[in-house]
Amino acid sequence: MDVIFCGTPQFAVPTLQALMNADAGHRVRLVVTQPDRPSGRGMELSAPPVKQLAQRLGLEVTQPEKIKNNLEFRARLEEIRPEAIVVVGYGRIIPQWMIDLPPLGNINLHGSLLPKYRGAAPVQWAIASGETVTGVTTMRIDAGLDTGDILLQRETPIAAEDTAVTLAPRLAEMGAPLMVETLAGLKAGTITPRQQDDAQATLAPILKKEDGLIDFRRRAREICNRLRGFQPWPGAYTTFRDKSLNVWAAIPAEE
């Protein structure tokens, strides 16, 4: 199929690689990613991981600052006439005109077992909430926040020592072949989309600095789970003798 890929972070890289695999049989006509941003101590402009891979693969890349009312961007996508748009961690709300463009829809890879943990930080909040199982979901994007129809899902356990840093790459590697399988199933008409049960939904909002502040009224296990989930940022911190104290690792006591 002719597809357009929208993604930005490292989490999206395995899926783009999988789509470019000769066995997948797809043509990635355009890669859409966020603009280069300042990073590091020198605050030099840094290309997002998806752009770096796309350039190595010789793919066309575009980095619009905004997409909703961007007529030039819209015209380019309409010119390509993709059969599907694949979205993995792009970081922008997909406008309705883009949702309506491809016949197979905008297909998203989400790092949780929807409808649990809808939002920007599903991996972090699953660990912070003490889950022992999570997974990845492919879904068809609609106008809501991760509310579209579920296509396929895969589960994986969360180990006691897992942090968001260790779990996210595993989910990314799981999700890549699942996206290839999803596109093949949609093309063949063998996937039956199913609606999400909104009554079972939980939210995973974008993390804030204050999420890392340790509340010692919580149970020890809950504090440890939040520390594991909120890696590498905002981490876990408190104050001790009027100084800031970062906590890098912890084990809940038996008592």
Full pLDDT tens readout for the chain, 255 residues = 999 999 999 999 999 999 999 888 899 999 999 999 998 788 889 999 999 999 999 999 999 999 999 999 999 999 999 999 999 999 999 999 999 999 999 999 999 999 999 999 999 999 999 999 999 999 999 999 999 999 999 999 999 999 999 999 999 999 999 999 999 999 999 999 999 999 999 999 999 999 999 999 999 999 999 999 999 999 999 999 999 999 999 999 887
Integer Cα distance of 174 and 169 in angstroms:
9
Same domain, 90 and 213: no
Same domain, 58 and 122: yes
Same domain, 68 and 23: yes
Burial zone of 123 (CB within 10 Å; 0-12 exposed, 13-18 middle, 19+ buried) = buried
In a domain, 252, yes or no: no
Q: Which domain holds residue 223?
A: 209-246
> For the chain, how many structural domains are there in total?
2
Same domain, 103 and 72: yes
Integer Cα distance of 36 and 22 in angstroms:
29
CA dist 253 to 113, 131, 221, 223, 237, Å?
Answer: 31, 19, 9, 11, 18
Same domain, 82 and 188: yes
In a domain, 109, yes or no: yes
pTM recorded for the entire structure: 0.95
In a domain, 254, yes or no: no
H/E segment holding residue 240: strand 237-240
In a domain, 251, yes or no: no
Same domain, 65 and 143: yes
In a domain, 36, yes or no: yes
Instruction: Report residue 5: phi and psi, to 5°.
Output: -110, 125
